[in-house]
Structure 1
Amino acid sequence: MHDKTMTGGQALVRLLAHYAVDTVFGIPGVHTLELYRGLPGSGIRHVLARHEQGAGFMADGYARVSGKPGVCFVITGPGVTNAATAIGQAYADSIPMLVISSVNHTASLGKGWGSLHETQDQRAITAPITAFSAVALNAEDLPELIARAYAVFDSERPRPVHISVPLDVLAAPIQRDWSHEVVRRPGRGLPAAHCLDQAAAKLSAARRPMIIAGGGALAAGAVLRRLSTVLAAPFFTSVAGKGLLPIDDPLNAGATLCVAPGWQLISEADVVLAVGTEMADTDYWCERLPLKGELLRVDIDPRKFNDVYPCAVALNGDAEQTLRALLERLPSAPRDADAAASHVATLQQAIARGHGPLQSIHQAIFERIHAELPVNAFISSDMTQLAYTGNYAFQSRAPRSWLHPTGYGTLGYGLPAGIGAKFAAPQRPGLVLVGDGGFLYTAQELATAVEELDSPLVVLLWNNDALGQIRDDMLSLEIEPIGVLPRNPNFALLGQAFGCTVNQPQNLDELQTDLRNGFKRNGVTLIELKHACAC
């Protein structure tokens, strides 16, 4: 029976619950009170972030690990601008995120009356960094806009959606109960048959085929492995695609297209099949990959077919369905993979030999991490030199296990994204890799972690007392280093103030022990590793 007293905000929360939303991240404010009125009894858990940017990154991490949209509630004006960086990161990395914000009363929009939190055009702030940004001018708009958001998440390239709801729409009683009107039309479909035939013919004729898979292929791991085996094709991933093949698969070349041995190997391919990857320079660390063979692309976004890497065959459709259709058109007997496996082994050896002094230190740290990391753990990493090495040198055991802010490249991502990931998969131990510079962007989210988490989250703080990458870049360009040697706080005392268990290992053996203990501890462990202690 329709509750005549249900407001637009309450009905919206009930609608989200019917869309299987179980967690929202946010900070309540005077403008979002009607949303919070709807949370009790909804079945949706609210997680209090300490900054709206942190709430957005938490929603991002939740989405990367769960595969479901991350949801956050933010207030009008500063809440939206604070969250914009996290929205931009999700947009760049094709992460599904639903941002619900308030906005000023309908009658005041665009008037410049000086209302609290007023922005001249709030929608315009997020329009460039979302699949769409819209204002619900009446309550009846809300079920339509939520359905449109889920159409993006289910059927298009997943990206953030921002819906602004005016204060009067949030507070007014709804005229009819639309809180149960769920519209899900998932499906990305198959490319045209003639495109599949053409692609299969090129793959069949290829002498040295290779595969690149990205974040759009995370659901297609099994079929990708079969395809790699049938074709005897070395298998690369983007950073977002790490873990798609087992570590011990002899054709697994990993996320190594950002270093010279990877560039060399991919240049030898006569046909490259790229699946669910933007093929962006943020993954490759070079302006353009040296592709000499024909490029076949599988993507849900048709705009990718003729951008930096125009393709010989465009396969517009769902990754898993498309790859299965390709397999049906290929010979079922696997090719001899000895030569391809040898090329991959040579690649891995060249990478190990090619580490510079800093990367060798990082590799030693990752060896200790690998020894102690639980099988089902995930790693959330910030923009820090340790993670840059890990992007290509550390192999993930499974998809959705390495979270990194690749495209937008924002500092401060690692900790809140790791917290969000814990809410998506509480049973999975988490490891956060963060540098001292990026840590101070969102260190306040330790308060959320300590308050909310009762399973292992280990924060490994790589402290070189510098903005190390920028310092090194300045020196390489013969620029006098400025602003890259900050005075850091006492991180141990900071962690203790938040309620973390704190360790400061003095060598790599102690680091390994601290990691082992941290993964056994239900709660948050902060491990500060000084650069000098890792040498």
Structure 2
Amino acid sequence: MKTCGTLIPELLKSYGVDTIFGIPGVHSVEMYRGIEASGLRHITPRHEQGAGFMADGYARATGKPGVCFIITGPGMTNIVTAMGQALQDSIPMLVISAVNGRADLAMGEGRLHELPNQLALTSEVSRYSHTLMDVKNLPKVLAHAFSIFNSQRPGPVHIEIPLDVMIQDASAIDTSAWPLPQASVAAPQAIAEAAQRLNQAKRPLMVLGGGAGKASAPVTALAETLGMPVINTNNAKGVLPASHPLAVGGSPSLKHLRDELEQHADVILAVGTEFAETDYDFFFLGDLNIQGQVIRIDIDAGQLCRNVKADIPLLGDAAQTCASLANQIDRAAAAQLQQGEARAAQLREAQIELRDPDYQAFFSTIHDVLPDAIIVGDSTQPAYFAQVHHNCEKPGRYFHSATGFGTLGYAFPAAQGAKLGQPELPVLCLTGDGGGQFSLNELSSAVEANLKVIFLVWNNQGHGEIRRFMDDKDVPQIGVNIHTPDYAALAEACGMRGANATSLAEFEQCLRDAADHDGPCLINIAEAGLVSGYPW
């Protein structure tokens, strides 16, 4: 007999899944029965939050949903933080968990791992959360999940399976994937109106958010057609290559870019962006007050009514809607294109003057040694600098947890997920000595899976950013000057190479050594030896 648990890996494989992140438990072992036969790769983190962050990093690096197998109760309470980060950043993640048997649900009888209402917990950090009450419905429920990933605003989906359903007979169930709906394009009338506004614009400006991540080609074509400078948020880094003459890069939180957005641009085309605080008001300058006309493209109708009022809201997929819009745009005259490139160059030059030279030298060293690397950041000083000043040539080459939900402990596991998704690319983890202690245990996961990830620990002996906030607000430094372990020794204890860098030259040599090493490495970087101040 083929059970429901055996069926799950087969169905997942039919949707192109190749990797599962999970920690087996008494309640979830049935889901593991079919993994070996399916050929799916299983990665074991050391904590369910690590599983969620690994799935998140895998999804950002590949564009495919990351999948987790989680036990009920503590497994779910552990992973909800990772689901919250993925929800805020619209990252596709499928979490399949066990739950107590149907007759025992919500009884409060103290059964193993019991939560009175697990869906009440997960529904707050997911796009869709469902209890499977009969195995015959599993293909439909999974089709619903993957349709969200494929045609709606993505995010975590949670499916819980009661223990008695997990062992139901699934021998007669079809394991083929359901055809998935494609994302829609905005209404023709709205596109025509938007095209008319853009054709009449004298000083157009494009702003890209994470929703534009798969729209590089149509976004580039549209920008070139209009001679339109392009600003990007953190999650849109690389959608327009940083080397493109219309790429402004940076962050819309910078004052001179906010001025361009609020006061100088007459028509703003915002593609897949929330206009959220951590992208547009990172320095707490206040809410945006845009004077020009705003055209917003978003796949989520509710998002079009939040934060910034749209003069023309375009409900649809970013790539398809931009392509349809480009078909109705008059090609810019050469003079207009040159003017747009000149505006972009001027805005880029203004950013260069704001860059801290020490942090810039640090990232330049990384680029010189590993120019194609994916960098995965935590909430740490270099990540704050990168949020504003680090630019990319391709999407998915830099991401972090410092914006959006703002979790700590993200980078150690998320970098491993990125490496599993893009094994041919070098992957760097960038965390702080404080944030790193949230997920130190995941170093063992990298050794076990033999993942060639270079872990960079920015060490300022505590929670440096919160120290600065306390100082600025005249609050005593309590709870931030924490004990910091010997990271290099810890790395060695876990079975990977560990090294210390106390200067930029030492860091470069350690990085080159790590790049040549066949396996994971950790470099503990003394902040005091590399920089003299904060990154802005």
CA distance in 1, matches of 2:293, 2:433: 43
Q: What amino acid is the match of 1:187?
A: Q
CA distance in 2, matches of 1:187, 1:14: 23
Name which of 37, 45, 48 aligns with 2:33.
37
CA distance in 1, matches of 2:481, 2:179: 51
CA distance in 1, matches of 2:320, 2:523: 43
The aligned counterpart of 1:344 is: 344
Q: Is contact 1:150-1:184 (8 Å) kept? A: no
The aligned counterpart of 1:489 is: 485
Q: Is contact 2:240-2:247 (8 Å) kept? A: yes
Moved over 6 A (4+): none
- For residue 398 of structure 1, report the CA deviation from its aligned partner: 0.6
Q: What amino acid is the match of 2:419?
A: K
Name which of 493, 496, 500 aligns with 2:496.
500
Residue by residue, what CA displacement relative to the aligned partner does 1:432-466 show, whole Å, maximum 9, x if unpaired? Answer: 11011110111111111111135x31111100002
The aligned counterpart of 1:530 is: 526
- For residue 333 of structure 1, report the CA deviation from its aligned partner: 4.4
TM-score by length of 1: 0.96
Q: Is residue 255 of structure 1 aligned with residue 237 of structure 2?
A: no
Q: Secondary structure at the match of 2:207?
A: strand
Name which of 182, 188, 200 aligns with 1:193.
188
Q: What amino acid is the match of 1:184?
A: P
Q: After superposing the two structures, state which structure 1 stretch, 484-493 or 330-339, moved more.
A: 330-339
Q: Is contact 1:15-1:178 (8 Å) kept? A: no
Q: Is contact 2:419-2:427 (8 Å) kept? A: yes
Q: Secondary structure at the match of 1:127?
A: helix
The aligned counterpart of 2:425 is: 428
Change (3 A) 1:413 1:158: same
- For residue 334 of structure 1, report the CA deviation from its aligned partner: 4.7
Q: Secondary structure at the match of 1:195?
A: helix
Q: Is contact 1:374-1:519 (8 Å) kept? A: no
Residue by residue, what CA displacement relative to the aligned partner does 1:22-71 show, whole Å, maximum 9, x if unpaired? Answer: 10001001111100111111111100010000000000111111111100
Name which of 173, 185, 205 aligns with 1:178.
173
Change (3 A) 1:401 1:186: farther
Q: After superposing the two structures, state which structure 1 stretch, 493-502 or 44-53, moved more.
A: 493-502
- For residue 349 of structure 1, report the CA deviation from its aligned partner: 2.7
Residue by residue, what CA displacement relative to the aligned partner does 1:495-531 show, whole Å, maximum 9, x if unpaired? Answer: 1111121121221112112222222322111011101
Aligned residue pairs: how many? 525
The aligned counterpart of 2:205 is: 210
Q: Is contact 2:274-2:307 (8 Å) kept? A: no
CA distance in 2, matches of 1:246, 1:18: 34
Q: Secondary structure at the match of 1:354?
A: coil
- The CA RMSD over aligned residues, in Å, is 1.4
Q: Secondary structure at the match of 1:119?
A: coil
- For residue 266 of structure 1, report the CA deviation from its aligned partner: 1.8
Q: Is contact 1:11-1:177 (8 Å) kept? A: no
Q: Secondary structure at the match of 1:178?
A: coil
Q: Is contact 1:12-1:179 (8 Å) kept? A: no
Q: What amino acid is the match of 1:244?
A: V
Q: After superposing the two structures, state which structure 1 stretch, 335-344 or 164-173, moved more.
A: 335-344
CA distance in 2, matches of 1:524, 1:290: 47
The aligned counterpart of 1:288 is: 287
Gaps of 5+ in 2: 532-536
Gaps of 5+ in 1: none
Q: What amino acid is the match of 1:180?
A: T
The aligned counterpart of 2:534 is: none
Residue by residue, what CA displacement relative to the aligned partner does 1:89-148 show, whole Å, maximum 9, x if unpaired? Answer: 110000010000000111100111110000000111100110111111121221111111
The aligned counterpart of 1:401 is: 397
- For residue 177 of structure 1, report the CA deviation from its aligned partner: 2.5
Q: Secondary structure at the match of 1:219?
A: coil
Q: Is residue 74 of structure 1 aligned with residue 74 of structure 2?
A: no
Q: Is contact 2:209-2:233 (8 Å) kept? A: yes
The aligned counterpart of 1:85 is: 81
Name which of 264, 269, 272 aligns with 1:273.
269
Q: Is contact 1:73-1:99 (8 Å) kept? A: yes
- For residue 345 of structure 1, report the CA deviation from its aligned partner: 2.6
The aligned counterpart of 1:307 is: 306
Q: What amino acid is the match of 1:262?
A: L
Q: Is contact 1:14-1:179 (8 Å) kept? A: no
Q: Is residue 94 of structure 1 aligned with residue 90 of structure 2?
A: yes
Q: What amino acid is the match of 2:10?
A: R
CA distance in 2, matches of 1:453, 1:400: 22
The aligned counterpart of 1:416 is: 413
- For residue 468 of structure 1, report the CA deviation from its aligned partner: 0.8
- For residue 204 of structure 1, report the CA deviation from its aligned partner: 0.6
Q: Secondary structure at the match of 1:140?
A: helix
- For residue 17 of structure 1, report the CA deviation from its aligned partner: 1.4
- For residue 191 of structure 1, report the CA deviation from its aligned partner: 1.2
Q: After superposing the two structures, state which structure 1 stretch, 253-262 or 489-498, moved more.
A: 253-262
Q: Is contact 2:379-2:431 (8 Å) kept? A: yes
Residue by residue, what CA displacement relative to the aligned partner does 1:387-429 show, whole Å, maximum 9, x if unpaired? Answer: 0111121111210111212211100111111101111111111
Residue by residue, what CA displacement relative to the aligned partner does 1:191-247 show, whole Å, maximum 9, x if unpaired? Answer: 111101100000011111000111111121122112112211110111110011222
TM-score by length of 2: 0.95
